Amino acid sequence: MESIKAIIRQKPRIFIHITLVYLLSVGIVKWFTQPSVEAIWFFLGGAIGLFFLDAAEVFFALQPSPFRSVVFGALFAIVAFFVVTSSTGTIGSGLVLSIFLQMLLWQVGEWRMKGNTDSWYRMVAGVVPVATQRSIIIISAVLFFVETFIFIR
């Protein structure tokens, strides 16, 4: 129980606020005219996704985290696209969209602090130019917004 409390306390408040605003915005746009029980499942999935990767990092205790890598990010983007486009349950969509948002926030946070995301490329041979890193963050953000749009429609 203490590790769960620690995970919740360690999460940057800005991540929590951004994710909650995102979930509420998507929920309002999707279900504004016809509120549904599905909205509750979406919010529940999003709340789980908010802390899912943090809990997995603590549970598996792997250093460095395999979840903070460009390889995992690319594979996850594919899985998230599959879930959003083919799943009828909104809990899964909320979960993957929230996790995707957390990964984007991690990357942007590292970019703002260090001016690069070098740690995300440990699994890739060679040095990845900063311009390429920036392009990958932008592409990831575009994919995230496309998946959000697909979910909303």
**Average pLDDT of 39-48?**
92
Which of 62-66, 116-120, 146-150 has the largest mean confidence? 146-150
Summarize pLDDT for 62-112 with one digit per residue, the tens. Answer: 788 889 899 999 999 999 999 999 877 889 999 999 999 999 999 999 999
pLDDT classification of 113: cutoffs 50, 70, 90 = very high
Instruction: Using the predicted structure, report yes or no on whether residue 2 has a pLDDT greater than 80.
Output: no
Percentage helix, strand, coil for the chain under 3-state DSSP, each rounded to 5? 80, 0, 20
Instruction: Using the predicted structure, report yes or no on whether residue 5 has a pLDDT greater than 90.
Output: no
- The torsion angles phi and psi of 89, rounded to 5 degrees, stand at -85, 130
pLDDT of residue 122: 85
- Note whether 27 and 40 are within 8 A (CB): no
What proportion of the chain, given as a percentage, has pLDDT over 90? 58
Query: Which token pair is 13?
Result: 């408040």
Rounded CA separation 119/148 (Å):
27
